[in-house]
Structure 1
Amino acid sequence: MRLSHLFTRTLREAPRDSEGRNYELLVRAGFIRQLAAGVYSFLPLGNRVLRKIADLLRSELERAGGQEVMLPILQPRELWEQPPLNGGLSRAEAYGAELFSLQDRKGRDLVLGATHEEVITLLASEFITSYRDLPQRPFQVHIRFRDQRRPRGGLLRTREFVMLDLYTFDADPESMDESYRVVREACQAALERCGLRFLLVDADSGAIGGKDSQEFFVPIEAGEDDALICDQCGYAANREKAEFVRDPVGTDEALEALEEVYTPGVKTIAELAEFLHVPEERTLKCVCYTAGGRSVIAVLRGDLELNEVKLTNVLTRAKLDVSDLHLATPEELARSGIVAGFTSPLDKDDSILIVADHSITQGRNFVAGANRIDYHVTHVNYPRDFRVAILDDIASAYDGASCARCGGSLHMVRGCEVGHIFKLGTRYSDVFHATFLAADGTSRPLLMGCYGIGVSRILAALVEQRSDEKGLVWPLRVAPYHVALVGFDMDKETTRTAAERLYADLQAEGVETLFDDRIESPGVKLNDADLIGVPLRVVVSKRSLKNGGVELKWRHEKEGKIIALDEAARTIRDLVQKRLHETES
């Protein structure tokens, strides 16, 4: 491809509306342009990278028995409104405002596909009738839509994105587990071939539902997620899921009598600890919510942070409608008799659901609110002084916490999820009556798995992980082109003829080449080559020709080398093929 004909252009300066490193570099290098918040056009360079990432995923998943399909973006809303057979939220309720909704000209309610579990299950119910038809592993690479509240981070969180999702259908739990292993390993192999550094961590199932769930987690500073990694046993989990040990505090103390103390203007845990000269772990923190029209007080030790995802899961298991879960408003607090800043689980009637973290059992003689302004109560103990409806894990693990598996130390890593895999079981086959005839003649529901990989997010994560001060640094396997052919002095016949000849030879050898044939200064051309990030740069100049040929330099190298012009195309082809082989190995 000639750079002079390319449907894009590079920028010298970062865009004013920069949303982070991947956005800045991809815009400057001419890979993407933003149309609206969270909505992007992929230009030829960006689209080539997307296609290469998707093709790597395709090749690994087809090797694992996958079959590619294409499912409709427009879906009847009624599919999303089917509730699970065991109760709980429908998918439309679970997604809430993130689900793009619309109507056709006849007033029928539709949604733009955020995922395709419902659609693929309906197809499976039609085509899978016997155990002889199993296993099945259809997948697709398609655009998804989610109305994010705050699209941000460039391509890391968008409202329209490219995603691969694969669905497995199996006859029994053992077969489902085997499909999970096979597809997980295929996804891992594809991500490794993309050149991405990632971790496989335990994760929350979220709105997809299901049993076991893991994420492909990419460590990057620009990420908005945290993972906890044990330094001894290797346990790894997203912060929304991570288990940890609550260190005991004063559990050998005798229970003391309640005592009310005057604490004027003291509303936060930090202020309370300072005012009473006690550590924060000797206090109780209360966070007030409303869900399904009911008041909920979440109680945990003051040194810990409430994990809203864990709380949501606990409330869901308790059959509470969490579609409108939110921090209680002043009006809702007043209706429930809750005093903001001074509330506690003491003296609450059954109309208020109290959910407490296990940490309240790992201490004694806590300080808690007195349920009246400017007062707290000391020596509060559970279960002597207050009731709890649900005792569960609702606290976030933290850096340095003790691992629940081995007692080692958990360390927090910042990053983002680029893929999420689930064992769904019969969550969707039950709803849509997707059954098969087993070997013993009985009718059974299909067992499902779901595997989603964010193609456009992989692209962004690679930029975050592998760029430098000069620009993009693409792994050879997913680079838009393998070779950047840079011709200096293109208005001079000698260099122009040599560069054009080499370009023709490289094309004949099947080498993916981006030819900078513009009449620009050498500095502009070299800067653009580094900014675009093509792995191998080949310079044809008056000086290189005088020195015996053309100059080769890999993107990460400081110095280049001269090779003969007559042998250049074959040498470059061999270098690229060798490097591709090495990366595969």
Structure 2
Amino acid sequence: MRASQLLGERYKEKPAEANLISHMLLLKGGYIRQVSNGIYSLLPPAKRVVAKIERIIREEMDSIDGQEVQMPVVMPRELWEESGRYKSIGSELVRFRDRNEHDMLLGMTHEEAAVHLSRNEAVTYNKYPFMIYQFQTKFRDEPRARGGLIRVREFTMKDAYSFHTSQKDLENYYEKCLAAYNRIFKRVGVPEVIAVGSDTGMMGGSVAHEFMLLCDAGEDTIAICNNCDYKANLEVAQARSKHKDYEEGKLEEEKLEEVYTPDIKSIDNLVSFFGLSAKNFIKAAVFAVQNSNKPLIVFIRGDLEVNEAKLKKVVYANVFPLTDYTDISLHFGFIGPLGLDTSKVDILFDKSLEGEENLVCGANKVGYHLKGFSMKRDLIPEKFYDVAKINHGDECCVCNSGTIELSRGIEVGNIFQLGTKYTMSMNMTYTDVDGERKHPIMGCYGIGVGRLMASVLEVRHDDYGPIWPISIAPWHVHICILNGHKGNVKEVAFALYEKLKELKCEVIIDDRDVNAGVQFADADLLGIPVRVIVSPKNLDNNKIEISTRDKTIKKLVEKEDAVKEILDVVNDLLKA
């Protein structure tokens, strides 16, 4: 490739709209151009990177017996009505009518299409297990498109769907896919990606993992124990339910008494008034629940907050902090668990309160709280739920000795054990060995290709541009010609270029009549791993300079040995 013919200009100035490093570098380097909010065109360098990422993913999917297919972007309403998601998903799903007034949609994910494709092809047990995968455009009308390719509306995803005749078989395959994903991220140059437990969200199912690249640009928060292997997205991370005072027997049961607390409503003010730790209070958080006329009161320990993602899974509906107090007969600031009318409100208790005593709670009476409340004596709920948000510095609930640290992360992939959510609702069955009709059990596995490219940039760059891992770099070698009008500089450079091309080396040559500063700045923005500099000064000594973009190698070699030396560096990087 000749730089003079390469489509896509590179810029010195930082684009005003870029709010992440990857977004800024992809715009400056001539990789992407915005078409609309959250919608981008890819220029040749980006397309080459994406193609290499796809090749690596394809190789790893094939290695675990994946079969590549192609499913449509546009689907009819009926498919998604079968699964129940046509109405349950909100405005993120783009719905439209075709010229025949038929309701259609743009696929944001392809579970329905995968079941539709497979249910007439795998009708007996001897077809199982199998996995199909594709690279396909998705469209999600994301309300918070940001960060270039990190959060977009239109994107390319590798999505895969496996089908099994037993839960055990799914679990075994799930582990194979998890290992394949770890290999993918290592091969594209981000081996530091970690797998964490996550929420299944709109996908459904029982078990899910997200693959997180820990970096400041991430939107997700990850809880990591510094002592054991526990890692989880904040949305599902288990909070420690007991505090040490209770476990060590320091809190004794006291008599329940009513205390006058005029205009004292917040936990902080109550802590000061009673001289107790926030852990000795019951906090009441009130939520509105989708499709319910009754408010939901969540009682939780005073030092904790409610995790809305966990709460949604418990009540099987979206929840929102209550803001409309019309016709609500609650004494806000003084709400407590005793004496509530359950015909007018729903009540839920967090696990942090289980077995606790000597607590302070609202008295459901303006200006009063109850002191000495005992969950073992005064009220024993049928069930407690883990709906608490974990905090930085909390003790790990798994090993009981490590400390939880919170880190930011970008989700670069996810895998789910879907179970029979889609095969049952869409009536996909097969004849088992015993002759019975059964629903296959599904797993699904996704990687956003463009997001992965941008995520690599978030951790593989310097102040001047990308430092692409050679496995996904747009080219392997970048030849710079300095003062090409002097002597035989251009002739030597192009001889080198043609020889490398002949040897199937991926090479780009900067043949433009521009000064060294412009060439080096553009070379930094392209981020090619190996740089070759042909200049009059070095050729006078029969030398050619070879360096690497990460600055670990810089050497002068004999002109006659240049091709071999360049290929040796390239091969060493590929092996590494």
Q: Which amino acid aligns with 1:206?
A: G
Give the CA deviation at 1:372: 5.6
1:319 aligned residue = none
Rounded Cα–Cα distance in structure 1 between residues aligned with 2:137 and 2:420: 26
1:253 counterpart = 2:279:
no
**How far is 1:422 from its partner?**
1.2
Structure 1 518/367 Cα, relative in aligned 2: closer, same or farther at 3 Å? farther
Partner amino acid, structure 2, of 1:143:
T
Aligned to 1:20: 20
Q: TM-score, normalised by structure 2?
A: 0.93
Counterpart in 1 of 2:223? 228
Residue aligning to 2:542:
548
Q: Which runs of 5+ in 2 are unaligned?
A: none
Moved more, 55-64 or 172-181: 172-181
**Structure 2 equivalent of residue 506 of structure 1:** 500
- Residue 426 (structure 1) aligns with: 420
1:267-346 mapped onto 2 (5 Å cutoff): 267-291=265-289, 292-293=291-292, 294-316=294-316, 322-323=317-318, 325-330=319-324, 333-346=325-338
Aligned-partner Cα distance in 1 for 2:97–2:334: 47
Which of 210, 214, 217 does residue 219 from structure 1 map onto?
214
Aligned pair partner of 2:396 in 383, 403, 407: 403
Aligned to 2:411: 417
Indicate the residue corresponding to 2:176 in structure 1: 182
Taking the aligned partners of 1:191 and 1:274, their CA distance within structure 2 comes to 50
Superposed counterparts of 1:438-453, under 5 Å: 438-453=432-447
SS in 2 for 1:300: strand
1:201 aligned to 170, 179, 196, which one?
A: 196
Instruction: Return the alpha-carbon distance in structure 1 between the equivalents of residues 220 and 536 of structure 2.
Output: 51
1:124-143 mapped onto 2 (5 Å cutoff)? 124-143=118-137
Deviation at 1:228, TM superposition (A): 1.9
- 1:327 CA displacement: 2.0
Q: What amino acid does structure 2 have at the position aligned with 1:155? A: L
The whole-number CA distance in structure 2 between the counterparts of 1:45 and 1:158 is: 19
Question: How far 1:389 moved relative to its partner?
Answer: 6.8
3-state SS, counterpart of residue 563 of structure 1: strand
More displaced stretch, 428-437 vs 179-188: 179-188
Q: Is the 8 A contact 1:354 1:389 kept in 2?
A: no
TM-aligned CA deviation for residue 219 of structure 1? 0.7
Q: Give the partner amino acid of 2:400.
A: G
Q: 2:346: which partner in 1?
A: 353
User: Is contact 1:421–1:451 with CA below 8 Å preserved after alignment?
Assistant: yes
**Matched residue type, 2:327:** R
Deviation at 1:341, TM superposition (A): 4.2
Map 1:343-492 → 2, pairs under 5 A: 343-350=335-342, 351-361=344-354, 363-371=356-364, 376-382=369-375, 384-385=377-378, 388=381, 391-409=384-402, 410-492=404-486
Q: Identity, % of aligned pairs? A: 35
Root mean square deviation of aligned Cα? 2.1
How has the CA–CA distance of structure 1 residues 417 and 263 changed in structure 2, closer, same or farther, with 3 Å as cutoff?
farther
1:520 Cα deviation (Å)?
Answer: 1.6
SS in 2 for 1:215: strand
Q: Deviations over 1:185-211 (max 9, x none)?
A: 222211111111211111111111112
**Structure-2 separation of matches of 1:370 and 1:35:** 58
Distance in 2 (alpha carbons) for counterparts of 1:527 and 1:422:
43
Structure 1 residues 370 and 25: CA distance shift in structure 2, 3 A? farther
Q: Aligned pair in 2 of structure 1 residues 376, 516: CA closer, same or farther (>3 Å)?
A: farther
8 A contact 1:121–1:434 mirrored in 2 = yes
1:213-256 C-alpha deviation (Å, 9 max, x unpaired)? 11111111111112222233312211112224223345632233
Q: How many residues align?
A: 567
Q: Give the deviation of 1:464 after TM superposition.
A: 1.0
Distance 2:255 2:14 in 1: 62
Partner of 2:532: 538
**Partner amino acid for 1:338?**
L
Q: For 2:208 and 2:445, how far apart are their aligned partners in 1? A: 10
User: Which amino acid in the other structure matches residue 503 of structure 1?
Assistant: Y
Matched-pair contact (CA < 8 Å) for 1:39–1:159: yes
Shift of residue 257, structure 1, vs aligned partner: 2.0
Looking at structure 2, the residues matched to 77 and 123 of structure 1 have their Cα atoms a distance apart, in angstroms, of: 16
Residue 39 of structure 1 corresponds to which residue in structure 2? 39
Does the 8 Å contact 2:239/2:388 carry over to 1?
no
1:104 paired to 2:98: yes
Question: Is 1:425–1:447's contact at 8 Å kept on the other side of the alignment?
Answer: yes
- Counterpart AA for 1:269: I
| Contact 1:347 1:386 survives alignment (8 Å) | no
Q: Which residue of 2 aligns with 1:87?
A: none
- Secondary structure in 1 aligned to 2:130? coil
1:282 maps to a residue whose letter is N
Alignment of 1:76-91 (within 5 A): 76-82=76-82, 90-91=84-85
Write the deviation string for residues 43-91 of structure 1: whole angstroms up to 9, x where unpaired.
11111111111110001111110111111111123322335xxxxxx32
- 1:354·1:390 contact (CA, 8 Å) conserved in 2? no
- Alpha carbons of structure 1 residues 473 and 375: separation in structure 2 relative to 1, 3 Å: farther
Deviations 1:290-320 (A, max 9, x none): 112231112211211211110000001xxxx
Shift of 1:451: 0.6
Secondary structure of the corresponding residue to residue 345 of structure 1: coil
Structure 1 residues 498-557: Cα deviation after superposition (integer angstroms, max 9, x where no partner): 222221111111111121112222112112212221111111111221232211001112
Q: Are the aligned partners of 2:241 and 2:353 in contact in 1 as well (CA < 8 Å)? A: no
**Secondary structure at 1:96 match in 2:** coil
> Is the alpha carbon distance of 1:26 and 1:274 closer, same or farther for their aligned partners in structure 2, counting shifts above 3 Å?
farther
Instruction: Please state how far the C-alpha of 1:258 moved relative to its aligned partner.
Output: 3.0
* Cα distance in 2 for residues equivalent to 1:431 and 1:258: 53
Distance 1:162 1:281, change over 3 A: same
Determine whether 1:562 maps to 2:556. Answer: yes
1:509–1:573 contact (8 Å) kept in structure 2: no
Question: Contact 1:247–1:362 (CA<8 Å) still a contact in 2?
Answer: no
Q: Matches of 1:145 and 1:237 in 2, distance apart? A: 28
Distance in 1, Cα, partners of 2:326 & 2:469: 58
Aligned partner of 2:518 in structure 1 is: 524
Distance in 1 between the 2:298 and 2:77 partners?
Answer: 34
Match of 1:5 in 2: 5
- Give the unaligned 5+ runs of structure 1: 84-89, 317-321
1:461-494: per-residue Cα shift (whole Å, max 9, x none)?
Answer: 1111111222111111011111111111234452
Contact residue 263 and residue 275 of structure 1 kept, 8 A: no
Structure 1 counterpart SS, 2:462: coil
Deviation of 1:267 after TM superposition, in Å, equals 4.5
- Please give the alpha-carbon distance, in whole angstroms, between the structure 2 residues aligned to 1:445 and 1:6: 52
| Alignment correspondent of 1:86 | none
Q: Matches of 2:120 and 2:133 in 1, distance apart?
A: 17
Preserved contact between residue 165 and residue 452 of structure 1 (Cα < 8 Å): yes
1:370 & 1:34 partners in 2: Cα distance?
57
Please state whether the residue corresponding to 2:509 is helix, strand or coil: strand
Distance 1:34 1:388 in 2: 54
1:282 offset after TM fit, Å?
2.1
How many Å separate the matches in 2 of 1:448 and 1:366? 46
**CA, structure 1 residues 439+29, in 2 after alignment: closer, same or farther (shift >3 Å)?**
same
